[in-house]
Chain A
């Protein structure tokens, strides 16, 4: 175990201690005891900052399943460091916030912190793993812990629905991702991400390369709520607000972004990667921002806002991958700016979205509702909350001097740059990028204003609220205040981040673009002259304000996008269809009738035998060595066939039994003719006993239905039966006509007397050469007799009348 491993394990260790710590809840809120875990992790990674900045990489490996190439390998570079700081930093703030949000006496906080720590550890594992399989393991652990957290209030139907939905969608993506990883392993022979990147030239032309890329992207898109897999995120808002703030805005939904960034060095040169990542991001961006406009629930609004911002970051990562297409030329650094913007916005979004969720949580906690139609005029009552909300939304809308402004400007720069790309048909399609980006920014601006003004200004309508609103306690305000001040600090001094975090992260995403020792130069300036981006921002603000003014009159904004077909209906309908389809299918063939099941079995037997006989090159039947038939044998065969064929036509039970007995005695006669004296003896005795038993039993049967009526003819049964008969005849003929090798019986005939001292070869085989068969056959017989005895003695319910059916 190395220190890095220990750090990943720390939340798990704390999670194990949760039930123990929970016992102290009378004295102290469990959250305070949990708080040291994320703080320690945060401090540890903060200390590592200078090392990583100077280009050092921390690695450590603990063997797990070395024979399969699966080792718990961890790797800390700029990208991982950025994510670990987000996870632990916001984690610490969320834990603190939750201490005031969740009542220690009313809620099962022990369970809550256990799940939360489980999630934190899993998330750290995802971003630090170098081994794809280990990464996948942690990835699914985040899905599971997220599932548990969404359904924290499991008494509510909607919580369970949301949890199930998110579970199904993210696990579907996770499994796709696993297959992508397996394909990568098939191509490269290693699970280590660094080794795959080192051997990148070997796999780019491989036929499995594109399938692997698509499968991995499916995993990333489902986890990061990209269109059309975003539908789970709004329903995940049933979780407690600290969970929404932590998982569904700052960390888990960024796991997909992390995956895209982490695997960019492998796939980025592929045009499909560029189009899929940036295209999906753009669609998600505009769709999410448009849908956010229509929401009346604050958390739903933030959920769609998160979806749209994730789309923005995703598209930036896609645009940044253009650099790999230009790899080796001076132009590549031009496109790297998109990656820089993406990372910067990723940090910014985690900060302001975390703060906004906490604000919404406070509003919910202090007023009892999150519906903007009921809220209003809270500014004077909750001044601190209002200030935080104002900073957060300004940052989200992209207003100066907050950090969101800078990343939005850089986003515009990136989409404008991409127009100048002269490959991949960009002259035409490239035009859409700035247009979509601009329109989406207007939507973002409008819903940001709506969010803050509908809640905090306007009419006071406190009579509609469940509680009398008042300012939140200090401890609850502290975490969002920290985040809001970070938004301001990073807005005014962006280079604090640029040199420390963004440059190493870019180096991790574009390792091939740099010579050794070289570094990216991320220089973010708050004022960059009267450029096109500034005009675009001014346009956003102007149009946004107009739209906000007209908001009430624009009916389009209040109606659902498509009332008929929505993605949620498709999902629900799909699940329903799957459920009913499966039930219908099962009901159709699982009829409960033995006859049907036997028919399936026999039809399968006939078909498989027919196909096999048809396929295998069969030599014509060879009748030359067949023995001649004498008149005795002809008579026996005739009697056998006659009695057998008569069985189905028998009108009484007795007749059917006797006819079957006749067939048995004819078989005995065959054994006599074919020189098998032991068989003949046994068969005769067995047949006699069976027939006696049959007759005895049926003689004593209650006469419910007097005798069985003669069998009705059924064509399907007959066809199947005939098919089996024909197949068996063909089998018997082909088996006896050609012999590929000599029998081993010569040995028994020769050695029966020498080795075993017996002259009856069959008996010698039974008790000497193959005595084990006989032993177990005796066991079978004894089990049967015990079983029969038990059945006869068994009386399950005494004195009850037999149940009459039908």
Chain B
């Protein structure tokens, strides 16, 4: 399972980076979302998959999956949500103000 997950993570990163390198601001934001997913799955995969029950003590299982990466990912999901929303509204405002979402045109003036 870890092998396939690793491949999936690789695909997420590849497409994420490819989108981030594009000209359109929307695609860059979508790319960062994909990168975020990749990172979260990477965190989960690194701590081994399917080694026990969900980390709820009420289940009375013999072994549980590692709860620490889950806590980290939960924090990360919330933070990336905040950052992505802000980034998105920023892009929206820039689009409104400047009339373009082409990164090649969103450059500073000469000698700025």
Contact = CB atoms under 8 A, between A and B. Distances in A.
Interface of A: 592-595, 598-599, 602, 623, 625-629, 633-634, 637, 640-641, 644-645, 647-648, 653, 656-657, 660, 663-664, 667, 670-671, 673-679, 682-683, 686, 689-690, 693-694, 697-698, 701-702, 704, 708, 711, 714, 717-718, 720-722, 724-726, 728-729, 731-733, 735-737, 739, 743-745, 748-749, 752-753, 759-762, 765-766, 770, 773-774, 777, 780-781, 783-785, 787-788, 791-792, 794, 796, 802-806
Contacts of A749: 55, 57, 64, 67
Contacts of A626: 1-3
Contact of A647 (B2, B30, B56, B92): B30
A676 B107 contact: no
B11 A641 contact: yes
Contacts of A770: 71
Contacts of A722: 14
Nearest to B6: A732
A154 to B, nearest CB: 26
- The interface residues of chain B, by DSSP majority, are classed as helix
Which one of A623, A673, A745 has the highest number of Cβ atoms from chain B below 10 Å of its Cβ? A745
Contact of A711 (B22, B33, B44, B73): B22
B99 A805 contact: yes
Contact of A803 (B6, B37, B98, B103): B98
Contacts of B47: 736, 743
Nearest to A659: B30
B21 A627 contact: no
A629 B4 contact: yes
18 contacts: A641-B11, A663-B12, A674-B50, A675-B52, A683-B77, A686-B81, A711-B27, A720-B17, A721-B17, A724-B13, A724-B14, A725-B10, A728-B10, A729-B10, A752-B57, A760-B56, A770-B71, A791-B89
B13 A728 contact: yes
A794 B20 CA distance: 27
B17 A761 contact: no
Contacts of B84: 690
B56 A732 contact: no
Given A788-B89, A804-B100, 10 more contacts: A637-B5, A648-B27, A674-B44, A675-B55, A679-B77, A683-B40, A729-B10, A732-B46, A770-B71, A784-B83
A761 B3 CA distance: 27
Contacts of B106: 594, 805
Nearest to B5: A732
B93 A791 contact: yes
Contacts of A675: 50, 52-55, 64-65
Contacts of A748: 67-68
A150 B46 CA distance: 67
Contact of A656 (B26, B55, B57, B75): B26
Contact of B81 (A667, A690, A704): A690
Given A593-B104, A698-B26, A745-B68, A648 B78 contact: no
A725 B3 CA distance: 14
B67 A765 contact: yes
Given A647-B19, A774-B75, A693 B88 contact: yes
Interface in B24-71: 24, 26-27, 29-30, 33-34, 37-38, 40-42, 44-58, 64-68, 70-71
B26 A762 contact: no
| Most-contacted residue by chain A among B21, B23, B98, B106 (CB, 10 A) | B21
B91 to A, nearest CB: 8
Contacts of A708: 24, 26-27
Contacts of B33: 660, 663-664, 690
Given A717-B18, A788-B86, A728 B26 contact: no
B111 to A, nearest CB: 11
B107 A647 contact: no
A792 B89 contact: yes
A625 B78 contact: no
Nearest to A726: B10
A664 to B, nearest CB: 7
B85 to A, nearest CB: 6
Contacts of A593: 103-104, 107
Contacts of B71: 762, 765-766, 770, 773
Contact of B21 (A647, A717, A774): A717
Contacts of A623: 2-3
A722 B1 CA distance: 22
Given A628-B1, A743-B47, A787 B54 contact: no
Contact of A599 (B2, B21, B100): B21
Given A679-B73, A759-B58, A598 B21 contact: yes
B68 to A, nearest CB: 5
Nearest to A732: B6
A95 B108 CA distance: 54
Nearest to A642: B11
A599 B64 CA distance: 41
Given A690-B84, A733-B2, A784-B85, A718 B18 contact: yes
B52 A733 contact: no
A733 to B, nearest CB: 5
Between B7, B18, B108, the greatest number of chain A beta carbons within 10 A of the residue's beta carbon is seen for B18
Nearest to A593: B104
A791 B10 contact: no
A667 B97 contact: no
B67 A670 contact: no
A708 B103 CA distance: 13
